[in-house]
C-alpha cells in the first residue's frame, strides 16, 4: 500500500516545514519537499501531520456504564461497576468498536484495552474485542484484566479480621486462561497484541504476578497493571507487604522496560527512583483520577527523574469519555499547579511526544511507532487546520493540545491503511454502531448497588471518614 501526502505541515525544530511524505508498503519511506509521487496522492494543504497517539490505558466494556456511576472513590465505584458489568460478548464487541471510533477521531491509532472479562465466557470476551479492533483497523494491545482475589480484598483491613470469598477462578486456571489467550490471539503482524495484565496488587496474589512475568518472558509480551491509584491502595500495600507496592513488584521481577503501569498517583521518591531504574512506564490517566478523587499523579517529578510517561483515557465509566485529546490537554496543564517552576511545565510539543513516542516506548514498539521517522510504520493522523476550533492561525500544535478541537481529524492511517477519511471512519458503519448502542441500552437513573451497600461502612471507617453519611449515593 503506497501513497504520497503532498504539501503537508510537519513539526521541525523551532517551527514547522511544508513537505511531502512518501508511504511505501506501510512504512514511511521519505519526508522532504517536492518528492516524486508514489501511489495515491493525498492533499496535505493546510493540514498538520503527526504520529498517531496511543490510548495507553482503557477498559472498553465500561462504555455501557458511562455517565451513571455517582461521584464515589475507586473502591466503591468498582463495586458498582462489577454489579452491572455487561454479561454478553456481543456487548463487548459493540463497546470495543465505540472505544476505537472515539480514539481514532481524537488522534489515536493504538489502544491498550485492559479488558474486563465476563466470568465463564473469558475467551469469548477476548474474541469479541479482537474482532471489533480488527474490523475497524485500529492497532490493539489487549490485556485481559485478571485477578485471583475477591473484590473486598482490595480494601485495607484497618486492623479488622475480615474473611473474603474465594475468587471465581483459581490462580492456576487464570494463568491457563492467559496461555490460551496468547495461543489464540497474539498476532502482532495482524495488529493484535496480547499483554499480561493483572489488575493490580490490591486483587492479585504474588503467584499471579510471578506467573504473568514468566509468560511475559517466554513470549516477549508486554506487562500492564494498575498501580497505587488510590490512598487506600497505598495503605493496603503496607498491610500486605510491609513495604511499598513498587518495592514489592520490583522484588517479584515484574518491573521492566516492557512494563506499563496505570495511574501511579501515590508513589514516594524512592518508588519513582525504582521506576526510573527499571525503565518502567507510567500511564497518566488524569480525568479518571479527578473523577474518582484519586489524586494528582506527580508527573513532573516522573519526567525529571527520567521515567517514561504516556497518556490514557481510562475506561468510559470513570472518565467518562474516550476523547484522547481531552485527556492529553488535562494531563498536560493539570500539573502547572503542582510546581511553581514553569520551566518544568509540559509544553504542547512535549505533550505530543508523550502521547505518541511515550506510549510506544511503554509497549516496546518505539523502534516501529511513535514519531514521523523514515523507516517507521505509517500510523499517522492528519489534522484539518481550517477547522473552526483550530482557528485563527497561531501555533498548530498549541491549538491542538491547548484548545478544544472538534472535528479536527481529517484522516487516519494505521499500518498504512486509511481508516478515517474526510473526518469519517471508513472501515465500519458508524451509523449502525450508534443505532446498536442506542437500542441495546436504556435511560437509567437511581439504580441500587448491593455491593456498595455492603462495603461502604467499612471503607469509610478504614479511610477515617465520618460514620454519618451526608447524602445517599444509591
Chain mean position to CA 169:
26
Residue 17 has pLDDT above 80, yes or no: yes
Percent of the chain predicted with pLDDT > 70? 99
Cell numbers representing residue 26 in the block = 506501510
Q: Could you give the C-alpha distances from 386 to 15, 33, 51, 115, 383, in angstroms and in order?
A: 19, 22, 20, 37, 9
pLDDT tens digits, one per residue of 213-245? 999 999 999 999 999 999 999 999 999 999 999
Helix (H) and strand (E) counts for the chain? 16, 17
Averaged pLDDT, 104-114: 98
- How many C-beta neighbours within 10 Å does residue 172 have? 12
Q: Which residue has the cell 518502567?
A: 280
pLDDT value of residue 87: 93
Cell numbers representing residue 333 in the block = 496543564
Residue 473 has pLDDT above 70, yes or no: no
pLDDT value of residue 446: 81
Residue 95 has pLDDT above 80, yes or no: yes
Which letter does DSSP use for residue 169 in this model? Answer: S
Which letter does DSSP use for residue 277 in this model? Answer: H
Query: pLDDT class for 432, splitting at 50, 70, 90?
Result: very high
Q: Which of 307, 308, 299 is nearest to 327 (CA)?
A: 299
Largest Cα separation within the chain, whole Å, is 73
Residue 396 has pLDDT above 50, yes or no: yes
Q: Which of 38, 39, 1, 43 is nearest to 18 (CA)?
A: 43
pLDDT value of residue 163: 82
Task: Report pTM.
Answer: 0.96
Cell numbers representing residue 281 in the block = 512506564
pLDDT value of residue 389: 96
**Strands 139-145 vs 259-263: parallel, antiparallel or unpaired:** unpaired
Residue 471 has pLDDT above 60, yes or no: no
The beta-strand segments (E) located in 270-317 are: 281-284, 308-311
Query: pLDDT class for 294, splitting at 50, 70, 90?
Result: very high
CA dihedral 462, 62, 355, 29 (to 10 degrees): 150
Q: State the DSSP string of 199-219.
A: --TTT--HHHHHHHHHHHHHH
Averaged pLDDT, 397-422: 97
Q: Which residue has the cell 511505501?
A: 24
Averaged pLDDT, 74-90: 94
Residue 351 has pLDDT above 70, yes or no: yes
Residue 470 has pLDDT above 70, yes or no: no
Cα Rg of the chain (Å, integer): 22
pLDDT tens digits, one per residue of 116-142? 999 999 999 999 999 999 999 999 999
Distance CA 112, CA 93 (A): 15
Which letter does DSSP use for residue 187 in this model? Answer: B
Percent of the chain predicted with pLDDT > 90? 94
Residue 468 has pLDDT above 70, yes or no: no
pLDDT value of residue 474: 45
Averaged pLDDT, 14-23: 96
CA atoms 177, 183, 184, 190: torsion sign: positive
Q: What is the mean pLDDT of the chain?
A: 96
pLDDT value of residue 121: 97
Contact 103, 55 (CB under 8 A): yes
CA dihedral 192, 265, 284, 367 (to 10 degrees): -60
Residue 290 has pLDDT above 90, yes or no: yes
Amino acid at each position: 500500500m503506497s501513497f504520497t501526502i503532498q504539501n503537508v505541515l510537519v513539526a521541525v525544530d523551532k517551527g514547522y516545514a511544508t513537505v511531502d511524505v512518501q508511504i511505501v508498503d506501510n512504512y514511511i519511506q521519505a519526508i522532504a519537499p517536492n518528492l516524486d509521487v508514489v501511489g495515491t496522492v493525498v492533499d496535505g494543504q493546510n493540514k498538520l501531520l503527526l504520529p498517531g497517539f496511543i490510548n495507553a490505558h482503557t477498559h472498553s466494556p465500561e462504555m455501557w456504564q458511562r455517565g451513571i456511576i455517582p461521584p464515589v472513590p475507586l473502591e466503591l465505584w468498582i463495586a458498582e461497576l462489577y454489579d452491572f458489568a455487561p454479561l454478553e460478548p456481543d456487548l463487548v464487541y459493540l463497546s470495543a468498536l465505540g472505544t476505537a471510533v472515539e480514539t481514532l477521531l481524537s488522534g489515536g491509532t493504538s489502544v491498550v484495552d485492559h479488558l474486563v472479562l465476563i466470568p465463564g465466557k473469558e475467551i469469548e470476551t477476548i474474541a469479541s474485542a479482537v474482532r471489533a479492533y480488527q474490523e475497524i483497523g485500529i492497532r490493539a494491545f489487549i490485556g485481559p484484566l485478571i485477578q485471583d482475589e475477591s473484590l473486598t480484598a482490595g480494601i485495607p483491613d484497618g486492623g479488622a479480621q475480615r474473611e473474603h470469598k474465594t475468587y471465581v477462578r483459581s490462580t492456576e486456571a487464570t494463568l491457563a486462561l492467559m496461555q490460551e489467550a496468547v495461543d489464540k490471539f497474539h498476532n502482532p503482524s495482524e495488529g493484535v497484541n496480547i499483554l499480561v495484565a493483572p489488575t493490580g496488587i490490591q486483587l492479585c496474589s504474588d503467584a499471579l504476578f510471578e506467573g504473568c512475568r514468566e509468560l511475559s518472558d517466554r513470549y516477549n509480551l508486554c506487562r500492564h497493571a494498575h498501580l497505587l491509584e488510590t490512598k487506600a491502595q497505598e495503605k493496603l500495600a503496607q498491610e500486605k507487604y510491609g513495604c511499598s507496592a513498587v518495592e514489592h513488584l520490583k522484588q517479584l521481577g515484574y518491573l521492566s522496560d516492557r512494563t506499563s503501569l496505570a495511574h501511579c498517583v501515590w508513589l514516594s521518591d524512592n518508588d519513582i527512583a525504582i521506576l526510573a531504574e527499571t525503565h518502567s512506564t507510567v500511564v497518566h490517566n488524569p480525568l479518571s483520577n479527578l473523577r474518582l478523587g484519586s489524586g494528582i499523579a506527580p508527573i513532573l517529578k516522573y519526567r525529571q527523574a527520567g521515567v517514561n510517561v504516556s497518556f490514557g483515557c481510562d475506561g468510559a465509566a470513570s472518565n467518562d469519555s474516550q476523547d484522547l485529546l481531552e485527556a492529553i490537554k488535562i494531563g498536560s496543564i493539570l500539573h502547572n499547579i503542582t510546581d511553581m517552576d514553569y520551566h518544568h511545565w509540559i509544553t504542547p510539543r512535549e505533550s505530543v511526544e508523550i502521547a505518541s513516542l511515550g506510549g510506544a516506548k511503554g509497549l516496546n514498539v518505539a523502534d516501529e511507532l511513535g514519531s514521523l521517522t523514515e523507516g517507521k510504520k505509517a500510523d499517522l493522523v492528519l489534522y484539518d487546520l481550517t477547522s473552526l476550533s483550530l482557528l485563527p492561525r497561531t501555533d498548530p500544535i498549541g491549538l491542538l493540545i491547548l484548545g478544544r478541537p472538534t472535528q479536527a481529524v481529517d484522516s487516519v492511517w494505521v499500518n498504512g491503511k486509511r481508516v478515517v477519511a474526510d473526518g469519517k471512519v471508513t472501515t465500519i458503519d458508524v451509523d449502525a454502531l450508534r443505532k446498536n448502542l442506542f437500542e441495546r441500552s436504556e435511560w437509567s437513573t437511581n439504580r441500587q448497588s448491593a455491593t456498595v451497600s455492603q462495603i461502604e461502612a467499612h471503607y469509610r471507617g478504614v479511610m477515617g471518614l465520618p460514620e454519618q453519611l451526608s447524602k445517599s449515593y444509591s
